[in-house]
Structure 1
Amino acid sequence: MTLRFRWLRFVTILLALGLLAAACGEDGAAPEDDAAPEDDAAAEDDEPPAEDEEGDDEAAAGEVPEFVSIATGGTGGAYYPIGGAMGSLLAREIDGLSNATAETTGGSVENIRLIHQGQAEMALAQGDAVHQGCAGEVDFEEPQNIATIAMVYVNLLQVVSPADRGIETIDDLAGQRVSVGDAGSATEVFIRQVTEFNGMSYDDFGEAQRLPFADQVTAIRNDQLDVGTWVVAPGVSSIQDLASSEQISILAFSDEELEALGEEFPYYIPAEVEGGTYQGVDETVTLPGTWNSIVVSQDLDEEFVYDVTRVLHENVDALASGHPSGGDLAPENIEHALCPLHPGAMRYFEEEGIEVPEDMQPTS
């Protein structure tokens, strides 16, 4: 083989190898534009992860308000001292809660409105007002932003007068000077429904007044009032005070009257004031009653409400130190709830194995 031929063959081989390399480059090498996404992906892996919204929600959970306002009632009833005992207990037992204060108010109707308006976080409230507030009925134009966490004790309709007035039936209120309780109170809700159910109205009274409990006592003593109305626990201090200086009488209801009233208003139940509860009232008196609730704003944090519910039920003696009726609070009472529970309270009762009526379980 000549040198020239060898040279030509060598050049041919080189050209062939060059063409082959070029072909491999076109088929196997990635274009620059395709490489960029891989670089971007690597850069994204190096960036800190975006904040997770669900994680933020979890971080916000368990919020404890620094201050809690507990709406109660007048100083002459049971709500105020029980609310004071509640406040002291919760501030002592719940971390992060600096102060929980019992506020004097006109009573249950006002209390429910205060929660709905965001001016109170918790309240004691009477069963009829709670039922009506939850449904947006009677004195409430719309459903109120409340939820139940506990049932405490039964309030009784105690229509009290000097014994010499001869007030023995609802009909005997006609022509009398009657206080129907403080403005904005569930006392007025109760007595208004009872009198209307019996075919009467305030127009049938000689005069209808709206006085707080303590003022009713003063007015009766000064002969400015014939009848005072209390919807409270038995043995309340203001009636005790009146009985210490006046021979009093408490209007009794017959079994037939109580049954008919309960059929019309299912949140009213038969109850009793035992003889000897008040000085000079030796016989047991039957009359209508309704359960008292502890209600909270639906907006309160679930974990916080769980802790509140647990602390209250585990420290009943502390509530009884405010007023003996506070000692009636018990987990089993929740079967008498008149407005659905807060989810935090529901969790407590589930853990305790307490059955909650289906229609009283949280709606969300």
Structure 2
Amino acid sequence: MKKVGIWIIILIFLLSLAGLSGCGSGSGSSGKPATHLTFATAGTGGTFYPLGGGMAKIITKYVPNTQVTAEATGGSVENARLLDKGEADLAFVAGDVTYEAYNGLGDFQNNKKKIAALFATYSEPVHIVTLEDKPINSVLDLKGKKVAVGSPGSGTEVKARALLNALGITYNDIDEQFLSFSEASDALKDNNIDAAIMAVGAPASAVMDLSAVRKVKLISLTPEQISKVKEKYPYFTESKIKKGVYEKIPKEADTVAVPIVVAARADLPEQTAYDVVKAIFEHLPELEAVHNVAREITLQTAVPAVIPLHPGAEKYFKEKGLTWK
């Protein structure tokens, strides 16, 4: 009887091991191997990281046998390179970087990256900020003025240079100041500069901080100027900083913006891309609970997304009746 008892214990132990092996991280509930995806974001202090974490949770929750991990990175340029090398499967990439990476321009000169767009998310409108008493009422009035154009090598500096260039203004025409958002705000407060260009989601804390102590105005672009910018740099989209976004700035401003794109490695399986896009767009309220900026993510603004869509994303949006150029 003792021998029988020992064999029963051994049998139970072996069965328990078999059960555990069937629930490992390598398999989904169906017993099929789980798909593990890496979602490249940016630094933990920005918008990309928490928003990417929220997307990762939604995809993991609603796409069977799929586990997604959001990872902190150096941001858009690094993310494009990670996708190209297959070291990330999904990533946030700013529209201008997406365009340059796909076409082998800018930081990717003659080195096109193998990436595809899944969808556009929120946008970062270009703020042209000055003080109410400054004789600056159009972008052309920036000539001869001290203008903050962003930190050296920053995304804002790239966008400021492109915007001005499209409108026939070079750094030779202004006294450019390479300042961060907070530095530009302080410089305007102290009257050390005349204006600042900031490519940042609205409302921007630097603009709110400035408007709390000084009377501020936002400079609008004309429809013709917006068309010129979009024609020369296709990653820009028409945008509006609406009245009320800044409590103490009474007028809205017409401008351009750069969309933030969720991109994928070009060889991501079509069904996987389709499932990822479907999970996000059918559970947007859950994403909005993670970060307010997710309220800007809609089917109507998801495409076009600067570069060609991944076939899986294209399939989903066509099913929803969307058309685009």
TM-score range, shorter chain: 0.7 to 0.9
Task: Provide the secondary structure at the position in 1 that maps to 2:289.
Answer: helix
Distance 1:165 1:80 in 2: 38
Alignment of 1:202-351 (within 5 A): 202-209=171-178, 211=180, 213=181, 216-217=184-185, 220=188, 227-351=195-319
**In the TM superposition, what whole-angstrom CA distance separates every residue of 1:97-142 from its partner, at most 9, and x where no partner exists?**
26324x364x544543343355543333333332232211233222
Asked if structure 2 preserves the Cα contact closer than 8 Å seen for 1:274 and 1:285, the reply is yes
Instruction: Provide the TM-score with structure 1 as the length reference.
Output: 0.66
Equivalent residue, structure 2, for 1:71: 41
- Alpha carbons of structure 1 residues 223 and 257: separation in structure 2 relative to 1, 3 Å: same
Number of residue pairs matched by the alignment:
291
Task: Provide the secondary structure at the position in 2 that maps to 1:147.
Answer: strand
Distance 1:327 1:74 in 2: 21
Distance 1:88 1:243 in 2: 37
* Structure 1: gaps of 5 or more residues: 1-60, 358-364
Asked if structure 1 preserves the Cα contact closer than 8 Å seen for 2:59 and 2:68, the reply is no
Distance 1:125 1:344 in 2: 18
Which structure has the larger Rg over C-alpha atoms?
A: 1
Among 153, 166, 170, which residue is 1:183 paired with?
153
| Amino acid in structure 2 at the alignment position of 1:194 | L
Distance 2:44 2:131 in 1: 22
1:84 CA drift (Å)? 4.0
Distance 2:62 2:150 in 1: 38
Instruction: Provide the TM-score with structure 2 as the length reference.
Output: 0.73
Distance 2:79 2:179 in 1: 17
Task: Provide the secondary structure at the position in 2 that maps to 1:336.
Answer: coil
- Alpha carbons of structure 1 residues 350 and 252: separation in structure 2 relative to 1, 3 Å: closer
* Structure 2: gaps of 5 or more residues: 1-31
1:90 aligns with 2:81: no
Equivalent residue, structure 2, for 1:201: 170
- Alpha carbons of structure 1 residues 302 and 150: separation in structure 2 relative to 1, 3 Å: same
- Alpha carbons of structure 1 residues 332 and 280: separation in structure 2 relative to 1, 3 Å: closer
Equivalent residue, structure 1, for 2:137: 168
Q: Which has the higher helix share?
A: 1
Distance 1:316 1:148 in 2: 19
Range with bigger deviation, 143-152 or 346-355? 346-355
- Alpha carbons of structure 1 residues 163 and 108: separation in structure 2 relative to 1, 3 Å: farther
- Alpha carbons of structure 1 residues 83 and 286: separation in structure 2 relative to 1, 3 Å: same
Distance 2:57 2:184 in 1: 29
- Alpha carbons of structure 1 residues 228 and 115: separation in structure 2 relative to 1, 3 Å: farther
Alignment of 1:32-47 (within 5 A): none
Task: Provide the secondary structure at the position in 1 that maps to 2:108.
Answer: coil
